[in-house]
Structure 1
């Protein structure tokens, strides 16, 4: 082979397309070049490209082998490698090795996040053009839009936000290309430091190493430290809105500078943008804080303290139904119910590791007669002590302890949010102590239990994430690398046995072990983090737990943490918003409202009330001297499933006039027939309460 032939051969790479076809192109060809070669219409429609190295078949990983942990670095990892080996790149990125290539159009979820990240750069451009004294933090895409953290001593006003949005429109109209540039890390640090961009200096130091090249994205005169990718030009950011501004401390530390976080959102077109804001109106109408007050379910009393929940009688009824179901389900699944103290000696938290790894989230120690004590942020050390109180044999395992225990965690001022972010809450905590050989079956059983819980309370859709450790960040975790690999592989195996797809999130594990997070999807398509299953090899080691194995020797058990509601308060808040306060019959605090037309019908209404209550129904009789329509309206506002009206005709025929929530007047029915209907409906609602 001649030298020219060698050069020619080296300059050609293979690109595999989704249809399986292979294209041979010159090294340096871009995804946009390939799109144009396929169709100019396709080239105009694509937003971003996804690639994966095209490895020779002999070197490809065994598909049955466990995934290796991937690294993902905060907001700057937009182009980080995903678990399937793919990564997003700009359409203008040169391809220099054989790859699989996907050209993503607007229908792809990843494309929308790229548009939103580009919109954040457009917003930063507008901010600096209008307010050049501003210093930039970071501007990631989010599930709802994007934001940019900035430092500016003067607060942004509503008029400022309107001006920023108007200037963004100008930046979009300029249709400036997004150009990726690379420079030496040291030059970037020097330039940003000279400009007083302290946040950019921090991010470069944190996410790059000496000697690295850093990437910047430039549009017009604006540039930003960023890994990308971006849309081809600012003109591709077509439908956007600046929505609000809020405070945020630099690095989340109250001692640092007060930043301003400017929020916005972006979509591919105005229709989607309009639909988004209609959805926000629906979310606002379902706000659990508003409905909680309207329906008299709970309150937060400032005289008592932020983030502390007072359950009112009607909310208490729902809580009792939730907790009764959970306790019964736990017992039927082989759990023992336990109770542990609210405060325990500080020494216990030192042994468990919480004092070192979790103290920022705990309340300060209390000096008592014999020692320092702390309010418990978790139930697990208490359950460990119960296990350790008696000798254990392999025949005793697994031991499963469940507790609806009150715990207390310090949430910073301004972070509380109704029932969703509180300082004191009830955790439906359980801990399973078992042999290493039992761990996978126990995790599978926990996943089954979580699915049953979500289904029972009306959630049919969920997504799963597996949070693993970052082996390069040893200070944030405890335990050996061997333990971590065992734990991660056990959780993966359990999910694979269930056939549940999951996303791996490196660096998000608890300090003591990896975890499975099950995120439910509510009626509006929002995801909520509630149920979790966690592997812990740390506490058994720290507390020197033992069991006698079949060989007569002492062995160390392993431990599973699991919470299904997550917290009763948070789960209740999600329930309120999911149902918009119109709870299913079995959960409704008042299931039947009774409306006598006049005082002469009150005695009959009281007789009906007694019969309904004897059948197990929760009933409220409105005996006020008010007009019938006013009473009906009140029960309607309270979202009562059934309202029964009683007058002369009903009294004479032992019947009631039935109004059903969402349907209105359904006519007359004998009392006995209504009781059968209502109790059957409750039984149907509760059909999933049967614990298999």
Structure 2
């Protein structure tokens, strides 16, 4: 989603620059622009009150952050007017705008509450109160907020020194700032959503109300952003998945554990068959390995030391400790170690559509895009050092060939490297890292791939190439990856007999083309708005007889159904006792690519009249011609025209 941020705001848009000793005493939480709100009567308060100075030369993003940060204060002030007993936890600026975590006691946020808060915010903005910065000591801050346990909790973590507070009319926030000059500048705002969150993100704590909002310098920019939000709602794979009956989740099963319904599993299987067929042509050998492993397996691989916090807790069974596997490389290492290998055997390419489990934070879970259970399109290539370049180039070619089939064009390649200043989370072998990073960099340069380098993004065992996509909505994320590994083969004592008769250690390429099938499906659903290409659509054609009580028409409808089904087309027939218009609208909601509306003319001529999803006109052809058209669309993996609308 393109960010509609503007850059033409005047210099007077912002208030004074923060300074003094306050910058040195704030915790990392405050430095992340956390703000805390409460009422305060400035004429009775200690400390120095000054008019805010002018601020200039801010970059566009910094200006917008300042505006959103100030609007968060306006929202907190409005909430306090409506709910005098309200207390506030944190209210940071985030990429999408701002939010505030609020304790409203027994009151819950709903649409009516949001409307009331917005109305009060408009009053505050219209008043145009000046915003002032004051500096007080930690002791003064503790006294000022002595009746607010949330602020006391935050202030207690700060070092002794000067702390800044911001005043706007009858409202004071403890905050680092900076802020705009007055509340009138926050008038172009919108509260966009709300949810319940645990205080400090701890499920053992009580639930607070989190309200999100956005603010822009101009009404035009706000309107453009709100249109993008509406577009995002329509593209959200969770909404599309529900409408198309693809997947579901239930807290009784567990958060982050989605379940694929029959139609969704059809899409999943098509993706699995697609990528396996491409891999088989390249000499991949597919395996199946268990979803659990012993703790000892992951201690050997190093995952236990470097990845334990992302794994589900160990299970003790008959004196052994087992964990749900977070990745598949240790299992594949053991498959390679199952027998001796010669250099003539290499490269060995082991692939698997593997079920993995990672204990992702609850706040990061998002439908099938990010869950605690997912299925990786994983593979491990065991190669000689001399084969690294050719095999890596082959993986890159497979990635881009796949992207071509799905019309994926908005991506960038990233060489992810170790952070030399933070070696604790990586395998401890400087020589190995230098060799691996230089080898991967050389390969990328030799095959002419454009890429950027990012420090600190490597896997714990080696550098990698990440292919990051920019989805239609949301932030960039990694879809495909290829990782170079000199570490794990040595940890598992993997060897092959070289041409000179000596034992050598193979190099491993870890690679995933579709990434996880779950995330890839979410990506494709959002890119196409659910208008999947015919070969991937769970229902490719739906037959709608005009009149359900006509026996001759019903018989012909079933004949067409059987003809298409016998020829491999995923087809449904809707002969419910509902009006035709209702059945058409329902099929459109399910994004069925082809609707066949059959009446007496089609029966008499032994034809079918089809309508492509998203279009109004119908075309009449013979059954045979219709089937041939579908088969050609499937063979060529033709894009669904409705996806471009």
Category of TM-score, reference length = shorter chain: 0.7 to 0.9
Tell me if structure 1 keeps the 8 A contact 2:68–2:216.
no
1:327 partnered with 2:276: yes
SS at match of 2:376: strand
1:582 partnered with 2:542: no
Q: How many residues are paired up?
A: 584
**Which residue of 375, 387, 400 maps to 1:426?**
375
For 1:681, the equivalent position in structure 2 comes to: 633
1:387 partnered with 2:336: yes
For 2:512, the equivalent position in structure 1 comes to: 563
**Which residue of 238, 249, 272 maps to 1:289?**
238
Q: Distance between the aligned counterparts of 1:277 and 1:517, measured in 2? A: 32
**Which residue of 566, 588, 595 maps to 2:544?**
595
CA 490–269 in structure 1, closer or farther in 2 if over 3 Å, else same: farther
Deviation, structure 1 residue 402 = 1.0
CA 137–443 in structure 1, closer or farther in 2 if over 3 Å, else same: farther
Deviation, structure 1 residue 379 = 1.0
For 1:139, the equivalent position in structure 2 comes to: 92
For 2:609, the equivalent position in structure 1 comes to: 657
SS at match of 1:612: helix
For 1:32, the equivalent position in structure 2 comes to: none
Q: Distance between the aligned counterparts of 1:633 and 1:687, measured in 2? A: 22
Within 5 Å, give how 1:512-531 maps onto structure 2.
512-524=461-473, 527-531=476-480
Q: Distance between the aligned counterparts of 2:279 and 2:582, measured in 1? A: 44
Deviation, structure 1 residue 111 = 1.7
SS at match of 2:481: strand
SS at match of 1:327: helix
Tell me if structure 1 keeps the 8 A contact 2:12–2:55.
no
Tell me if structure 2 keeps the 8 A contact 1:535–1:559.
yes
1:632-684 per-residue CA deviation (whole Å, 9 max, x = no partner) reads 34433322211223333222323122222111232322222222222222223
Tell me if structure 2 keeps the 8 A contact 1:178–1:233.
no
For 2:294, the equivalent position in structure 1 comes to: 345
For 1:406, the equivalent position in structure 2 comes to: 355
TM normalised by structure 1 equals: 0.71
Tell me if structure 1 keeps the 8 A contact 2:326–2:358.
yes
SS at match of 2:480: strand
Gap regions ≥5 residues in structure 2: 1-7, 16-27, 34-52, 146-150, 641-645
CA 125–603 in structure 1, closer or farther in 2 if over 3 Å, else same: closer
CA 301–607 in structure 1, closer or farther in 2 if over 3 Å, else same: same
Q: Distance between the aligned counterparts of 2:590 and 2:65, measured in 1? A: 40
CA-based RMSD: 4.3
**Which residue of 200, 214, 217 maps to 1:265?**
214
Q: Distance between the aligned counterparts of 2:305 and 2:318, measured in 1? A: 24
Mean Cα deviation higher: 626-635 or 390-399: 626-635
For 2:395, the equivalent position in structure 1 comes to: 446
Tell me if structure 1 keeps the 8 A contact 2:70–2:186.
no
Deviation, structure 1 residue 405 = 0.9
1:241-268 per-residue CA deviation (whole Å, 9 max, x = no partner) reads 3434445567755567877654322334
**Which residue of 317, 329, 348 maps to 1:368?**
317
1:78-98 per-residue CA deviation (whole Å, 9 max, x = no partner) reads 9xxxxxxxxxxx9968xxxxx
Tell me if structure 1 keeps the 8 A contact 2:71–2:215.
no
CA 43–415 in structure 1, closer or farther in 2 if over 3 Å, else same: closer
For 1:355, the equivalent position in structure 2 comes to: 304
For 1:507, the equivalent position in structure 2 comes to: 456
CA 399–253 in structure 1, closer or farther in 2 if over 3 Å, else same: farther
Q: Distance between the aligned counterparts of 2:361 and 2:634, measured in 1? A: 41
SS at match of 1:432: strand
CA 150–476 in structure 1, closer or farther in 2 if over 3 Å, else same: farther
1:473-528 per-residue CA deviation (whole Å, 9 max, x = no partner) reads 33322222333344444444455556555554433433333443323233457644
Tell me if structure 1 keeps the 8 A contact 2:533–2:639.
no
Deviation, structure 1 residue 382 = 0.3
For 1:64, the equivalent position in structure 2 comes to: none
Mean Cα deviation higher: 423-432 or 522-531: 522-531
Q: Distance between the aligned counterparts of 1:331 and 1:433, measured in 2? A: 16
Q: Distance between the aligned counterparts of 2:504 and 2:437, measured in 1? A: 21
TM normalised by structure 2 equals: 0.76
Q: Distance between the aligned counterparts of 2:453 and 2:200, measured in 1? A: 25
Q: Distance between the aligned counterparts of 1:385 and 1:468, measured in 2? A: 27
Tell me if structure 2 keeps the 8 A contact 1:178–1:231.
no
For 1:18, the equivalent position in structure 2 comes to: none
For 1:639, the equivalent position in structure 2 comes to: 591
SS at match of 2:609: strand
1:338-395 per-residue CA deviation (whole Å, 9 max, x = no partner) reads 1111222221122122223323332232333362222212111101111222223443
Mean Cα deviation higher: 407-416 or 255-264: 255-264
For 2:121, the equivalent position in structure 1 comes to: 166
For 1:299, the equivalent position in structure 2 comes to: 248
Q: Distance between the aligned counterparts of 2:152 and 2:638, measured in 1? A: 58
Tell me if structure 2 keeps the 8 A contact 1:548–1:555.
yes
Q: Distance between the aligned counterparts of 2:250 and 2:206, measured in 1? A: 30
SS at match of 1:316: helix
CA 473–42 in structure 1, closer or farther in 2 if over 3 Å, else same: closer
CA 149–287 in structure 1, closer or farther in 2 if over 3 Å, else same: same
**Which residue of 112, 115, 119 maps to 2:68?**
119
SS at match of 1:451: helix
SS at match of 1:664: coil
For 1:469, the equivalent position in structure 2 comes to: 418
Q: Distance between the aligned counterparts of 2:162 and 2:445, measured in 1? A: 38
Relative contact order, higher structure (CA 8 A, sep 6+)? 2
Q: Distance between the aligned counterparts of 1:289 and 1:245, measured in 2? A: 17
Deviation, structure 1 residue 154 = 8.3
For 1:34, the equivalent position in structure 2 comes to: none
Q: Distance between the aligned counterparts of 1:275 and 1:461, measured in 2? A: 22
CA 605–461 in structure 1, closer or farther in 2 if over 3 Å, else same: same
